[in-house]
Structure 1
Amino acid sequence: MSDVQQQAAPPRPESGERVSPARRATQIALTVLSLGMSLVVGFTVDGPTLWGLAPIAIYAILVLIGLDIMLASVAALVSGFLLLHSDPIDAASMLGGALGSDIVEIGLIIMLGAGLGEVLTRTRGATYLVRMIVDRFGVDTPVRAQLSIMIASGVLVIALGTLIGAFAIAAPIVIPIAARLGFTRSSTALMMFIGGACGMFVAPFVGSMVAIREYSGVSYPEYVLTAGGPLTIVCFAVGFVVIRWCQRHPVSAEDYYDEREIGDQDTALPPSARRSTIAFLLTFAVLVAYGVVTRAGTSFAVVALIVMAVVTGVAARMPVNAILKAIYEGCGRLVDMFLLFWMLAALLTVVEELKPYDVLLERFGSDLKALGVLGFLIVVALIGWLGISGASAAQVIVIDRVFGPTAEALGVPVQAWAVVLLCSCQADTFGPSPGPNMISPMAFARSTALKRMIYCGWILLAASLAVYVIQLALLS
């Protein structure tokens, strides 16, 4: 999941990991074997073929065994070229054509979101936003403080478009509050994690959410009402209760903060922080409203993110050069994501040339119809959740390209398809295994209670899966 899920200045837990020689040898062997198989098949099979799904399978397998997602994408793309037995000129033409695709546009949106996040960070607007929410809801009782921290985490994720970046900014503000009120480290980590995840589910300009709306065909209000909104409400409510239980049952005496960690969270912010926050919120509200009224498409998000970044910087009286440098630096951290989506766009172009979906519908269409619409949707959602890994927006695209034609043939309503895409890319936020988005709030909250986080994640996972099934049953 995780938008890549990953991104204002988020730490990247996966970077620097040492890969064992045995795993590296396995990755190399599988990559070479996959490319060799593609070369042989490319010269023995002509016309539409189910082998056209091989590059996507190779991509999924290589990511699952831990190969860097960019390398996995390149390997899958080369596999597709071999299956098509494309010459270098044809391959270059496909790569050039892919730059104009809507998939690359989503990669650009993710990159520009990081640029906006960097501007908000430099103006201290993100910090002021958290304090404003905390002051508004109050911290005079543990319940009010918990509500404030969860809402602040969610709003910050909506503003920055990243979970990990939001945690990094929120932690120095919320930890002294949590420490003074006697919250445990594990409960504080859960408050940030659950609140942030709920914000992600309804964020209008986050790459994965834009991808869901683009490929399902629903508008933002429809998406909130039928997919992201119900999930957010249930997860927030269940999470709130779970955190209250966890707070009454601390993991150990060491789970509490000590006096040194109470700190001073009243450090004065420059006047520019308030101005930039107000400017950002007003611009955000106006652009979202305009997008809803005009039913603006994916391209509008590109313009909206640039406008919000510029207005926020100007309100803080940043020089134009400083605003541009902040945007460049934020975008620069996610150039790899832009390149990933470029590779993915080219890969899916190659797959479409092989026409495996035509064969899939011809051979298995009757079996898929026998499952019924609800059965088909549940199977696809499970495949997306457990079977396809990678950046969350990329997961949406792959699932739609593989199963979208069948869904259209079965007459699946667009609202139900939006729910399937949401489940495919976001169900693994809560498990079954911990990912960077689950572990990072623990690091920021200085908690080591991984088992507590995993078990609570499973409770949220069960609740979210129940929501998905109910939504699909009602919408299909």
Structure 2
Amino acid sequence: MGAEEFSIWWGLLGLLPLFVYVVLVFRDMDPLPVTVLCVIIGAILTSQTLVSFATVMSNAMGSFLALVGLIIMLGRGLGEVLTETKVSHTLVHKIIYSIGVDTENKAMLGMMLACLVVVGLLGTMAGGNAILAPIILPIAAAAGLTRSTVGVLFQACGEEALILGPFTPPVIALLGLTHTSYGEMLLKVALPIAFVTLVTTWIVVHRIQKTTKGKNDYDIPQNVEQFAPTKRQNYSSLIFILAFIAAVLYGIIMKAGTAYVIVVMLGLSIITGLVGGLNIDKIFKLVVKGMAGNVGLFILFLFLEPFMNFIEQAGGFKALGLILQPLVNMGGKPFVAIIGGLTGAFGLTGATVAVMKMLNDMFGTLVTQYGVSMAAWSVGLVVATRVANFVYPGSNMFSSMGFAESKDIKSMIKNGVIVASMQIVFLIIYANLFS
């Protein structure tokens, strides 16, 4: 169909799978069955046969999203090895006690550093905070931090760790979609956003600590057995850190692609496991155990590829672009990054990688057409996913409260709304300066 024959109304009908996805996921339905349903709708709109649909699914196995799904599974497998060898516990212990926790501020700072390191390494907030909680809570109690404060810090630091770690799912997805290097993304995108978020949280959380002290305190434990790393656990942690740094530097120097992360994850699992006293059989059993926990996410990513492709084939993204064209003409290049970020923040929900992929497909043509810098567009993609997690009471927020043993949702939302507002302001300023 030529451009002159394109019907914007038929094109908008192509957005039906996306509309159904947004409505059902916001009604708290599981994203996997919702995505499968939307793929079926898209297949009908694009007149797929059983044979052509099978071919599409086969091709999806080799897609970028399938690769990201595999890396996420391997990351969870590495997390199992780090937990079994107590490397994760040792890293937290070193961070907390190297600071010397004797004031509220030091306890907060130590907790923030521990969250950034562990979540950034494991690539999962739930997994990282699960490791952190048993060690941090007794320290937080002794320092006088409230449950509300710890819950807010768990989420804020965990969210930012996910955009700082070199092998976390959002970072892998962002680098693959924008074709930028990790170093460039870190300096121009992740660090500025993390700085805005953490400084804002630091200010807000002191207010929360002051207003909740004496009302939402921990019971100070008596004779708590603190984790004390053994000589082998210290040595294993050192080897892991050195191997991790070497892998990152090698990847940067060689300009390695996303697939390189597969080798890194497996390599770090084997090296750390062997040094930590595990045999090769035990190491791979732990890796498989961890991977099994993310099979559902892998299948979700597998279906997201045809989900987006069917919408594009049906003309949905083209129709959306034509509708937004007058607005972009008025706002110019900065508006592309800004509207993309706001659309993701308030119009889409679901897995971070999925949202990034959706936004890139929706606005990719406009980004290219207007020559928007990849730095500005990357900020739009990151802010879109961070704002959504801070504003909406989702799994990240509730899991952070759970690990902190807090029920104070008000403090979580208070910090979330303020942080989200500052991130949006940062996006607007950045887009106007660097688009």
TM-score per shorter chain, which class?
A: over 0.9
3-state DSSP class of the match of 2:162?
helix
Q: CA deviation at 1:362?
A: 5.6
Q: CA RMSD for the aligned pairs?
A: 2.1
List aligned pairs for 1:280-319, cutoff 5 A.
Answer: 280-319=240-279
Find the partner of 1:63 among 17, 22, 25.
25
2:401 and 2:407 in contact (8 A); partners too: yes
The answer for the alignment partner of 2:304 in structure 1 is 344
- C-alpha contact (below 8 Å) 1:129/1:277 kept by paired residues: yes
Gaps of 5+ in 1: 1-44
CA separation of 1:448/1:364 partners in 2, compared to 1, >3 Å: closer, same or farther? closer
1:461 and 1:263 map into 2 onto residues whose CA distance is 40
Q: CA deviation at 1:270?
A: 4.1
Q: For the structure 1 residues 263 and 382, does the alpha-carbon distance in structure 2 shift closer, same or farther, using more than 3 Å as the test? A: farther
Comparing 110-119 with 136-145, greater Cα deviation is found at 136-145
1:321 to 2:299 alignment: no
Q: Which amino acid aligns with 1:185?
A: R
Q: Does 1:442 align with 2:401?
A: yes
Q: Secondary structure at the match of 2:199?
A: helix
Contact 2:79 2:122 in 1 (8 A): yes
Match of 1:169 among 103, 120, 131: 131
Aligned equivalents of 1:461, 1:405: Cα separation in 2: 27
Report the Cα distance in structure 1 between the residues aligned to 2:318 and 2:90, rounded to whole angstroms. Answer: 53
What corresponds to 1:418 in structure 2? 378
Aligned residue number for residue 328 of structure 2? 368
Cα–Cα, structure 1 residues 255 and 322, in superposed 2: closer, same or farther, change >3 Å?
same
Q: Which amino acid counterpart does residue 69 of structure 1 have in structure 2?
A: P
Which secondary structure does the structure 2 equivalent of 1:91 belong to?
A: helix
Q: d(CA) in 2 for partners of 1:54 and 1:164?
A: 33
For 1:90, the equivalent position in structure 2 comes to 52
SS at the partner of 1:202? coil
CA distance in 2, matches of 1:144, 1:361: 49
Match for residue 428 of structure 2?
469
Q: Deviations over 1:39-65 (max 9, x none)?
A: xxxxxx999834333222222222122
Tell me what 2:147 maps to: 185
- Once the 2 structures are TM-superposed, how far is the Cα of residue 96 of structure 1 from its aligned partner? 0.4
**How many residues align structurally?**
429
Q: Which moved more, 1:78-87 or 1:357-366?
A: 357-366
Question: Where in structure 2 are the equivalents of 1:244-255 lying within 5 Å?
Answer: 244-250=206-212, 253-255=214-216
Distance in 2 between residues matched to 1:115 and 1:184, nearest whole Å: 33
Find the aligned partners of 2:247 and 2:307 in 1 and give their Cα distance: 33
**Alignment partner for residue 258 of structure 1, among 205, 208, 219?**
219
Which ranges of structure 2 fall in alignment gaps of 5 or more residues? 1-6
How far the C-alpha of 1:333 sits from its partner, in A, is 0.3
Residues in 2 aligned to 1:199 and 1:138: alpha-carbon distance in whole angstroms: 23
Larger CA deviation: 233-242 vs 96-105: 233-242
Which of 74, 78, 82 is 2:40 aligned to? Answer: 78
Pair 1:456-2:411 in alignment: no
Residue 378 (structure 1) aligns with: 338
**Whole-Å Cα distance in 1 between the matches of residues 50 and 8 of structure 2?**
19
Are 2:162 and 2:169, in contact at CA under 8 Å, matched by a contact in 1?
A: no
Distance 1:413 1:332, change over 3 A: same
Distance 1:463 1:120, change over 3 A: same
1:223 counterpart (185, 200, 205) = 185
CA contact (8 A) 1:429 1:437 kept: yes
8 Å contact 1:377–1:420 — kept in the other structure?
A: yes
User: Which of the numbers 95, 108, 114 marks the counterpart of 2:70?
Assistant: 108
Is the alpha carbon distance of 1:359 and 1:463 closer, same or farther for their aligned partners in structure 2, counting shifts above 3 Å?
A: closer
SS across alignment from 1:201:
coil
Question: Structure 2 vs 1, CA of residues 240 and 88 (structure 1 numbering), >3 Å: closer, same or farther?
Answer: same
CA 1:448/1:353 → structure 2, altered by over 3 Å: closer, same or farther? closer
The CA deviation at 1:460 is 1.7
Structure 1 length normalisation: TM-score? 0.85
Q: Percent identity?
A: 31
**3-state SS of the aligned residue for 1:139?**
coil
Question: Equivalent residue for 1:214?
Answer: 176
- Cα distance change on mapping 1:50 and 1:441 into 2, 3 Å: closer
Partner residue in 2 for 1:137: 99
For 1:337 and 1:103, locate their aligned partners in 2 and report how far apart those are by CA, in whole Å: 11
The answer to whether the Cα contact below 8 Å between 2:135 and 2:227 also exists between their aligned partners in 1 is no
Q: Is the 8 A contact 2:85 2:277 kept in 1?
A: no
Question: What CA deviation, in whole Å up to 9, does each residue of 1:174-228 have, x standing for no partner?
Answer: 1111111222121122232222222222111111111111112221111111111
Instruction: Name the SS of the counterpart of 1:49 in structure 2.
Output: helix
Is the contact made by 2:42 and 2:311 (CA closer than 8 Å) also made in structure 1?
Answer: yes
2:113 maps to a residue whose letter is I
Q: Distance in 1 between matches of 2:88 and 2:256?
A: 27
The TM-score normalised by the length of structure 2 is 0.93
Residue deviations 1:436-461 (CA, integer Å, cap 9, x gap): 21222222222222212221222222
Matched, 1:391 2:312: no
CA distance in 1, matches of 2:282, 2:353: 30
Measure, in 2, the Cα distance between the counterparts of 1:125 and 1:466. Answer: 39
| Equivalent pair of 1:179/1:262 in contact (CA under 8 Å) | no
- Asked whether the 8 Å contact 1:383–1:424 carries over to 2, the reply is yes
Q: Pick closer, same or farther for the CA change 1:321–1:414 going to 2, 3 Å.
A: same
